[in-house]
Structures are given as structure tokens and as C-alpha cells.
Amino acid sequence: MSSLNLDDFTDLIERPDGGVRRDAEARRERQIVPPGALGRLDELGEWLAAAQSAVPVRTVERPRVVLFAGDHGIAGLGVSARPAGSAAELVRAVLEGGSAVSVLARRLDVPVRVVDMALDCPPDAFPEDVVRHRVRRGSGRIDIEDALTPDEAEAAFRAGVAVADEEADSGTDLVVLGDVSVGGTTAAAVLIAALCGTDASVVTGRGGQAIDDLAWMRKCAAIRDALRRARPVLGDQLQLLATVGGADLAAMTGFLLQAAVRKLPVILDGVVAAACALVAQRVAFRAPDWWLAGHDSGEPGQAKALDRMALEPLLEQGVKVGEGVGALLALPLVRAAAALAAELPEKAPEEAGEDKEKAAEQADEQADE
């Protein structure tokens, strides 16, 4: 019998420090650039200060991209522009430095970690540090069978928890979270539709390589059929991941929850990360306070999930490639917010006093009106 109790995360996860956030807001009001003049950068700096429990906020010095990888049996129905079982090619490109995320990571000086959870290739195809958490070779075809057995789902979830602990223990101070998968957006759409109580057509997007209309219809039908299998297990998040998720999605969910336990901020990438975040929110309602939505990929399922979690994307560039690229593009924005919050000088005491008097006068005038 399993010893894993997801309800424990509700007690373990705390919100970012509200008192520290108020201190950060007060410090921001004393800085020479007027509050509000930096737009959302003010909010980001204050959020990061609360997550770090530090005023002034510490700059982001040791970020890391973490990508969970897997193949999904549902890709065999032609729901993806890539052939089923080809995620290993994408992983190889990341590791060899030839992918979009690799190029950006080099420019931004951010290390990339790939975690193989269910690639459809021999386990010796990649180094030990990539494959050591692997649960199985490919996840099941979710329209007619479970993605994972209960034991595999638990093992994948625990692997995600372990990876979060490894990152926190190594000094990583912010994670850019993404996936490398084929068929993963289909599984993600099923999870989102199930948890949001909506129809398949509402969450069915065209994936990273813009599938044609016929493939979109196949994908929509696959999501519809998988939804029928998902609805009876909605009350059990681990069983839901086993039924219509996959090893990479179960691991990402565990990672997100444990990152929140460890107070490790996370930038979410696309629809797959959003789906896992939505499952994690069902487990522990405070967990989303530790996450940022990196970007709007244009996938309808992602928009639905982020709206349900009240997370507003930082960027809207329409990046659909996955692999953490869109979220990594948001990292400089977060770093800029931290640097401004930490390094902008404060006003001279007499100037601050004048500002307080003006604010008091304006308050009196509004009261008279």
C-alpha cells in the first residue's frame, strides 16, 4: 500500500512572506523612481522579495532550466506534427546544444537539466544523470488505456519531488520549468479540460508545430475519448495523472509541489507546465503563489489553466516550441525586476518627507470631494 499522501502538501506549503512583501512595497515607495512608473516590474520585485523572505530582494544568481521528457502513446494517432516516439531526438538536440532553449540558455548563462521520465528509446541512449529517474519507456495511449500503472505514477511523482529537492539543495534560486515531449500537449489538454469542466474543443490547440485541420480533429477526438476516462477519477489527483497524464506530467506535478514546499520560485513554460500546475493547485491551494506564468503560448488550454489559477503571463510572443523557451525568455524580465528593486537608491529624507505631505494633501482633497 502506498505511503504517499498528497494531502500532506496542503500543510507543508506556506504562502510567500506577506510581511516581507509589505516591507518591500514600503521600500519601493522610498526609491527615486516613482511607484508604478516601472509597471509590472514593481510587482515582480515585491513577489520575489516575499518568496526569498528578503528585503532588499536578492538578485537571481543561480537559475536553472529543468525539462521533464517523455513520449506519449496518444501520439500514435497522428495528433502531433512529429512522429510518435521521437522525443529522444528533441532531447538529443537540447543536450548537444542545437535546440532553441540551448541557444538561449548559453546566451543567458543558464544551465539546462533534462530529466528522462518516459522516452521511447533504450535507457542507455543518454547519460546516467539524464535517465536515472526514468519510470518506463513511453506512456500509455490515454484514449483507450491508462498512461501509467498506480506504482509508476507514484514513482514518477516521487522522482519530481526528488528533483526539486536536488535543485533546492544545490543552491538553485529560480527554476524555468518546461517539457520535451511528443503527444504531451494532448495529455495536458485532457487534464485541463477535466479539471476545468469543459469540452475537448475548448482546450484543443495545434501544438508546437502547428498541426493541420485533420490532425486537429484527430487530436480533439482523442481528448474527448480520454476525457471520458478522466472524469471518474477527478477526486484523486495521482490516479488522474496515471489515467490520462504520463510519467513526465506526474513528475512535473511532484516537482511543482515540492518546489513550493522548499520555497523555490518557478517560471512555468507552456500548456504542459500549466496543466501540471493546475493538478498541483488541486492538491495544495497555496502552491500557485510560488509560480510565475512565463508567457502566453497561444494554446487555448494554457489560457484556460492560467485563468483558473489567476496567473497572468509575463510575455505574449506566441512562442509554441515548448522546451522551456517561452519561460526562459521571461527570465531577464524577472532578473531586471530584482535588480531594480535591490539597487535603485532611496530618496533623500527631506524629499521623502515632501512626498508624504503631498500624499496627505491629496488624500484630504479626495476626502473633501
Enzyme catalytic residues: 323
The C-alpha cell at 231 is 472524469
82 and 105 Cβ atoms separated by less than 8 Å: no
55 and 232 Cβ atoms separated by less than 8 Å: no
Can you say how many angstroms the Cα of residue 157 is from the centroid of all Cα atoms in its chain?
A: 15
φ/ψ of residue 56, rounded to 5: -70, 155
Please state, in angstroms and rounded to a whole number, the distance separating the CA atoms of residues 95 and 127.
10
User: 295 forms bridges with which residues in the sheet?
Assistant: 315
CA angle 122, 126, 128 (to 5 degrees): 105
Strands (E), 51-199: 63-71, 112-118, 174-182
305 and 249 Cβ atoms separated by less than 8 Å: no
